[in-house]
Structure 1
């Protein structure tokens, strides 16, 4: 500790002789540097960045960060598994070649598989289709469960439309009378349709979320054994139309539904991605480290070795350039004002020294050598005469005060600055 203290004092000792305005500018420069670079990223030496693949083709879908393949994970020295990407965006690639399918697992408690139809990286959007509903193939898929997922990274987009299915309605095992009026136009009459297990032998219905269907759905709750809500793309649902929906619902379901992923809300991950790094997460969705090509992150994508995982839009680029231009202009104006202020202060101090010296000391030299002599001067106010003491030349005063060095100032006297 004593060595550290001595070293610290040694480093600061040269700064103690700097003028106050220089210390202020130095402090400002350090403060701006720290503010621009943010807090340091956590060490990532224990995590291998080789698990971060540039891109992988699974069937017709490109898989890249923040998605990651299920078999592309690593383990820390404490055997903690981690992924190069967001925990909930794990992709299973089933099959090989062009027939392979990318599968994303969703669910809270009970998990279900969804086929990835497309990933639109620039919009942060992914199109999914219920894999289990289309296992048997054909035009009459069976939806057996609701879609659930953690909203930490995923959410529905504005394109959301919902189809509500009722299964096991008017069951022969029930003593309830059929609903009135009849709901024949909502009944699923798709040839080859099979209701989900446990729904009974009754008929099935499907509704869109258009106005006017809510009251009908409320009635069916009493007459049906099972209710399932399936998300679909709004545009496809509107194109199919309400009248043909019971027969064409399979086409609408087959187009899938859209989710969007949000950039990580962790501050450390945000800084990592801004430096063109990639975030390593645990299975518990905890941020672990920033993975960078070669172990180095940079503000330059080429230097980091990875492309920007979240490329900015043209609008954000424009705003970013405006912010940079404004910051540079503001810094330039501030530096210019600071320089003017420093020059003004120095000039004022020099003038103060010269004026005080000229008032106090009137130089009178002997005829040839310029030797200072004692003389008597008149009081400027009263006109009385008094002894002014020895008078010296400006050069002698400059030499005696080390060019009016501020470090030799003792204070201000009645007639000006006093030097030692």
Structure 2
């Protein structure tokens, strides 16, 4: 070790000792700068009390609340921004951590048509929906009038197009109203303790009534009971006391600074001694470790077949924009956990905003090992060669010289299909049956496109099907996907995927085919029908896997026990027929023998025929010249669960000999 290094060792140890003393005493020394009286309850003049976690920047310092809860005053009214929308705060209930909000524009006298134009979601915010929240669906530009129990939206209609709002979309289907004559509906959230009372109002009054959101409150009550005021620093809860801050409550009794000083010096001395012992071991290993870590990504990328000799040139050749790591770190607020959107297969996904104003999703690898890098490069390789309206768009990635490997995608704001069916965004009867039908068709189209492009997704599931605000599908997460040359019947590989979705034939024989995606999509279809998750250990042991449960229900002629009762199966004959037909299709996709499953293109054609049943009320088998098209060429064009059972139950392990 040279003289300069020795000097740095001593300097580092000195800094460490000072730091320990500093942080040991920090509660008693720094907290005197946090004035608790500055965090008294405030208001904007209308009587709504604003206190922790909410705060008013014009009247209070930032430590009086959390960043996401800042309130602005306008014309003596409090306003808050959530998901880039402005809401007026009607009341805050601190005892049960709930807030009554209403869209600000419905109170704007200059707004002649205060109707929602896109869906609101709490995804990516600290809020969740309140218990008495319902959806008011707005239908715009309908070519057909609807005269029944609705709210007329006269400001958004003209001589040829109609607009209206309803609480229950099932009523439209019950009265044979074709919602396809309208744009995709937009829903507004409404607090509803009495639907009858709401039906006596006009839609503006209903929207002004507002709705409840809830937040996960810290235990502020204990702090207040101990004489303190609640606050926060760096998003961490603080109890602001008269002369100090504490993590939970104000401490009473004699001052403990002396004890802290003793503990601080003792700990610092011991740490300094240990630092000297371990520093030499650390130095000897650091250079070797640093070299290995910095070269891991390079070696992995260089060994990947698609990267050519120069990964930088390879990325440019593939049309991938290279992002600067610092820009993405800035865009995600240093990968703030509050910006997490979820897990993306082999990494965590964050919401971010680039310097050019684009809102993006940034995937950050869990760890930089060779396997993760392979998935990283695989996703780049797949997405740069494929372009489809129902596949997520890759904007670019970081360079191999970057500190970490990051992928940048378009941001899809409305969560996943799983969220809306049985996750945090799920609501009774939503999405409507027609929206579920649309999701199924668009997902099938995306998978059929992949297969036509010799790509097997290998991880088809509702968590990988993203939705925009119009419920348009974007299939994502291609880390496990495989190129599948057309001259091969299968690829031998160890089974990968998500439990509940993995093809049993693939799991047993280690042979991946395009029919493996078909099986997974069959599970997705059952989720759309049932609103149940693919795996639930709380169900009966034979029904933990949704695929097993579905097959059992269909074979027992008990489809009604599987179907979500809130999507019209019991009240609308057309919907019942369509759900039955989709169950038949899903049953075919879920056959254990891959040869008995339809191709994805055949699935698309079958779904389109099912969708046309909404207009005709009966199965559409197409024109005579199309007799060999779709599922009919495998003699699998079936019309009821009974026919499914009759066709398949006796041959569930034997390939169809009519192919």
**TM-score band, normalised by the shorter chain?**
0.3 to 0.5
Which structure has more strand as a fraction of its residues?
1
Structure ID, larger Rg: 1
Higher relative contact order (CA 8 A, sep 6+): 1
Taking structure 1 as the reference length, the TM-score comes to 0.45
Which structure has more helix as a fraction of its residues?
2
